[in-house]
Structure 1
Amino acid sequence: MNLVKSLVIKKVSLLYFLLVVAPIAFYISIVIYFSENIPYWDDYDTVLAYLNQADSARYQGLFNQHNEHRIFWNRLVVEGYYFLFGEINFRHLVFFGNLGLLLLVLFIFNLFKSRSTEIVLFIPILYLIFQPQGWENITWTTGSLQNYYILLFAFLSFYLWDKGNYLGRIAAVLFGALAAYTSANGLLVLFIIFFWEVAQIIIDYKNHTSGFFLSRLKLLSFLVIAILFLCFFYLKDYTSPDPHRSFFRNLSNYVLFSQYILMFLGSYMEPSKPLTILVGLLQLILFFYITYLRYYQKNIVNYLLSVFILLTALLIAIGRVDFGVDQALSSRYKILSVLFLVSMYCAIIEIWPRFFSRKPIIFALILLSVLFNIGSQVLVLKNLAERKNTLEEITGWYHTGKGLNYPNQERANIIIKRSIEKGTYIPPSLTENKY
């Protein structure tokens, strides 16, 4: 009897292991197979044109603006790679970009297991995150470095702030600043922490002594100073890109604005637009419900992460709704909508742990997440294949001067030729072709 029980336990453990490894392994294989050592779109500016500058100009331009962002983190990674290897390989940079997503999942898991939750319930999270709906980021150097690491830095900032110790809070502010210098929505991080601390003072007004409030005020003063410094240096010489100057008109168009946000939050249910709106609405209602239940008292890190994603959706809607609501379904944003779903998922299993500890419920959640992952593969892998084929058209550029994945072919030609001359980047098959 004991032997049979032992064999059953081993089989179940093996099954869990395979369920955990499968989505990660398949995602890694996708990144390896579809990535190319070829620049795409912003890579011409953020990597090649940047490295083509003189050393002094590069170092002075580390914090310079790119579109609406200051992409210090991207440039820092590029500088580091170039320093180590003396030549850019976009494929390797893509691998490093996707490492940000893997690290984020590891930190989420660390938070998850500390909540005394059934570990097996983490399996659906792996199938939700490690699927290719965010295909634009997966094989794009600029997109992966920016859109994955901003989430990692935001999470680390909330996580370290919650630790409550002196060094942790200094590190939290540093990660908050790094988030801002990775993507523009990173500016939200320290503001969210500040307003959370203000809310704490209001909530605890009747329950603590004057000494408690004095320490809180010191903490707020520290945050205010950090935010003022961050905003001053970030906004100094900042210019708003032309497409985003219709700020107030976008905000006043409340019907399209609301539709954009809901589609953004439910975008992983594409291609059904009505379903994306419905799912987005349900998630928004759930967020307000867990707020009503004071979920933030259970898990402030997860709650603040959901607030960050929600406010990011608001900012993107304000800036881009005049591009059309379909833009809310852009694949580069889908990591945000999926992560919001993951955040809500973690919240409800913490609020109702008994219900989600039932084996039929666990089985159903795992099955649904696996089906979602498979469905995403079926729908999206063709896009990655098309991207790979498009990137490989660079081989024809040697003869035609065309085929570079950049809106201005003339500028792209100048950038890539200068990179070859300087030795910062050597395109594939250059030894067999001449431009």
Structure 2
Amino acid sequence: MSILLVLFGVTFLLKKTEVIRPAIGLGLILTPIIYFYLILEAHTLNIPFTDDYNLLETIANFRKETDFVKSIEILFEQVNQHRFAFERIVMLIMVFITGTINIKLQIFLGNLFMLGILYLFFATFKKEQISWYYFIPVPYILFNLVYYENAFWGIAAIQNTPLIFFAFLSAYGLSRQDRKGWIIGLLAAITVTFVSGSGMLAWIIGVIILFLQKEYRLLFQWLAFAAGIIAFYFLFDYYFIPTNGEKPWKHPIFNTIYVLGFFGNGMYLDIPHPSATSFYKDMILCVLLGAMISVVFFVWFLRIIILPKLQWTYWYLLGAFMFVMGTGCMFVVSRPLSNYLMFGGSIFSRRYMIFGVVIIATMYVAMIILAKTFKTARISIAFIGMMFFLVMNGLSYFMSLPQMRKQYEELSLDGFYYKNFATFLTTGIHFGDIPFWNHPTRMKELVTLVEKNGLSNLYESDLFPPHQQVLKQTENRREKYKGKVDVQIEFRENEQVIPPKSIHFLAGEQNGVKPSYFVLVSEKYTLLLPALPKPNSFSAFVKTKNYYDRLYQYTLFRTKLPAGKYELWMMSEKGENSGQWESKFTGKKIFLY
């Protein structure tokens, strides 16, 4: 990537190299996109995760329902304040074509909508007749792992990225100011309403755009459709969830800062943010970036008011700005703060960062258009944007790949944990916790239903015998594990206020053989924990040119392990991809009480 960037710069200095500039520019655009999808392919599994099971259940219920009205109720079934009809329709199409639901394919399809968002930005440059070279930085901010939850979680992938795409498509359609565009905007607005609750913002944005365009006839038609869709949304089999929390206007300063932090959440680093008595630096940057985005939006809005004649690009970017900023306002209204955002705590999930990166891209495109007639300013914005986006892109992969790897390995063990202990490794604070508030039968009935209907392969994903047989079938008592092994107690402060005591397992390779699992064996339990390669520090990464160390580790909160006396074994694969396992005793014993 850096080589391509240097070569691209050289083509502006050496006239003889101009001929290869388009090819290098295209390579710069494609590189982050291809790398992003390759990372997705390597780090995703066809195994449901938490709320995925809820959607799978409704698909199973829909398929066996024969009454039309009840089928519609299932299709539009409420989840919190949302109606996930779009997600269910996508899954039903998948079932119709393939006979099952492939979560990995679902994740890939959801993330493909980012290409649609990218294209709308490209079309904006093209309409403004700005060289496509200024477009090169945009893929670097859109295709990264800042929002990695959307990259491994089925429902998040099929919700958040399509949500933004259809909202932007609606604004794009209305911006064209013709009948065909209005129909595109209308259909996109209807779709986005049933992707997520915040999709209803598309109707409000449509009203604002059509009013400012003075398209009053189309505005009244828009309002009529909006009234019908919103009436259906709230009157058809809907219940209002009461909220007893504080109102955002009770602390206007704190919540204004909060909403600015949401706008700039692309700067929210993938590090723990437990509640503190001092400000986190990255969260200060979130607020400052959010303030900058707000200023650019204000300038953009003023130009729309002042300029007598506008390209459709102005209306489109206005809609893009308003949707993400409106989503941020809805987010703050639903969970207001009574203190400074920068003190940390349970604030943002990584999936919300997708809104942050998209609005950064929107701001960049708007700034390039604002500087259209000022060549020096335009080049400066492009150069600074490229450097900033490149650093953010690289930093997101460097910091978040271990989280992707951890989720991948833990998810691959969920089948083992559920079959043996009716719990998941990926979910819950305590050993034995299950989704849906630890209801005694809810999860069991749900898993049985989706497995029986062939919609999930949770059981099939378990590659191990019953936990009592794991050691009997894999043990090698003739020799001990000769690699380095250590167990440490750590105290990890966290946003979820989980008791901080943690168990940290560490192991090295044995004669070049990589450990795959830490195996805890007691009279009652045999527990498998993934041995994850330890990421190098940045300095070690630069020195060795290797992302991972040759050590393997796993850390989990003490509450995720049941009490008991355990022997620690290491399990490795006999030969690469052989599917045969061998466990060796480390000589270490652990007492948990």
Q: State whether TM-score is above 0.5.
A: yes
> Deviation digits for residues 86-128 of structure 1, max 9, x if unmatched?
1111111111111111222122212222211121111111000
Deviates more, 1:403-412 or 1:131-140: 403-412
Quick one: distance in 1 between partners of 2:402 and 2:240? 35
Partner of 1:315: 330
CA contact (8 A) 1:269 1:275 kept: yes
Distance 1:285 1:111, change over 3 A: closer
CA contact (8 A) 2:85 2:195 kept: yes
Structure 1 position 58, deviation (Å): 4.2
Partner of 1:339: 358
Quick one: distance in 2 between partners of 1:280 and 1:308? 15
Partner of 1:43: 52
Residue 217 (structure 1) aligned with residue 216 (structure 2): yes
Partner of 2:435: 407
Quick one: distance in 2 between partners of 1:323 and 1:383? 30
Partner of 1:125: 138
Partner of 1:355: 375
Residues 3-152 of structure 1 mapped to structure 2, 5 A cutoff: 8-53=17-62, 54-56=64-66, 57-152=70-165
Residue 429 (structure 1) aligned with residue 461 (structure 2): yes
CA contact (8 A) 1:262 1:276 kept: yes
Q: Name the SS of the counterpart of 2:123 in structure 1.
A: helix
**Paired amino acid for 1:239:** Y
Partner of 2:286: 276
Match of 1:330 among 342, 345, 349: 349
Structure 1 position 359, deviation (Å): 5.4
Distance 1:430 1:110, change over 3 A: same
CA contact (8 A) 1:263 1:328 kept: no
Provide structure 1 residue ranges, at least 5 long, that are not aligned to the other structure: 202-215
Structure 1 position 6, deviation (Å): 8.0
Quick one: distance in 2 between partners of 1:357 and 1:318? 37
Quick one: distance in 2 between partners of 1:318 and 1:360? 37
Residues 134-213 of structure 1 mapped to structure 2, 5 A cutoff: 134-201=147-214
CA contact (8 A) 2:412 2:462 kept: no
Structure 1 position 60, deviation (Å): 3.5
CA contact (8 A) 2:59 2:91 kept: no
Quick one: distance in 2 between partners of 1:266 and 1:402? 37
CA contact (8 A) 1:51 1:58 kept: no
Structure 1 position 302, deviation (Å): 0.9
Quick one: distance in 2 between partners of 1:184 and 1:323? 25
**Paired amino acid for 2:207:** F
Distance 1:340 1:51, change over 3 A: same
Residue 375 (structure 1) aligned with residue 373 (structure 2): no
Structure 1 position 329, deviation (Å): 3.0
**Paired amino acid for 2:367:** I
Q: Name the SS of the counterpart of 2:396 in structure 1.
A: helix
Structure 1 position 395, deviation (Å): 3.3
Partner of 1:204: none
CA contact (8 A) 2:171 2:205 kept: no
Deviates more, 1:12-21 or 1:316-325: 316-325
Quick one: distance in 2 between partners of 1:356 and 1:106? 26
Q: Name the SS of the counterpart of 1:40 in structure 2.
A: coil
Distance 1:7 1:398, change over 3 A: farther
Q: Name the SS of the counterpart of 1:93 in structure 2.
A: helix
Q: Name the SS of the counterpart of 1:159 in structure 2.
A: helix
Q: Aligned-residue CA RMSD in angstroms?
A: 2.6
Deviates more, 1:295-304 or 1:39-48: 295-304
**Paired amino acid for 1:231:** I
Deviates more, 1:137-146 or 1:57-66: 57-66
CA contact (8 A) 1:260 1:328 kept: no
Quick one: distance in 1 between partners of 2:376 and 2:52? 44
Q: Name the SS of the counterpart of 1:294 in structure 2.
A: helix
Deviates more, 1:74-83 or 1:105-114: 105-114
Structure 1 position 287, deviation (Å): 1.5
Q: Name the SS of the counterpart of 1:131 in structure 2.
A: coil
Quick one: distance in 1 between partners of 2:190 and 2:390? 37
**Paired amino acid for 1:32:** E
Residue 241 (structure 1) aligned with residue 269 (structure 2): no
Q: Which has the higher contact order (CA 8 A, sep 6+)?
A: 1
Partner of 1:398: 419
CA contact (8 A) 1:50 1:58 kept: no
- Identity among equivalent pairs (%): 23
Partner of 2:579: none
Please, what TM-score do these two structures have when normalized by structure 1?
A: 0.88
Quick one: distance in 2 between partners of 1:88 and 1:7? 53
Quick one: distance in 1 between partners of 2:165 and 2:398? 28
Partner of 1:265: 263
> Deviation digits for residues 272-294 of structure 1, max 9, x if unmatched?
11111111112212221222233
Partner of 2:449: 418
CA contact (8 A) 2:368 2:382 kept: no
Please, what TM-score do these two structures have when normalized by structure 2?
A: 0.65
Q: Name the SS of the counterpart of 2:50 in structure 1.
A: coil
CA contact (8 A) 1:64 1:71 kept: yes
> Deviation digits for residues 324-369 of structure 1, max 9, x if unmatched?
8455432111111111111111111111123367656544432332
Quick one: distance in 2 between partners of 1:219 and 1:10? 48
Quick one: distance in 2 between partners of 1:431 and 1:280? 47
Partner of 1:294: 304
> Deviation digits for residues 308-332 of structure 1, max 9, x if unmatched?
1111111111002259845543211
Distance 1:6 1:291, change over 3 A: closer
CA contact (8 A) 1:303 1:343 kept: no
CA contact (8 A) 2:247 2:336 kept: no
Distance 1:200 1:17, change over 3 A: closer
Structure 1 position 185, deviation (Å): 1.0
Structure with higher Rg: it is: 2
CA contact (8 A) 1:267 1:328 kept: no
Structure 1 position 49, deviation (Å): 4.5
CA contact (8 A) 1:157 1:189 kept: yes
Quick one: distance in 2 between partners of 1:388 and 1:275? 31
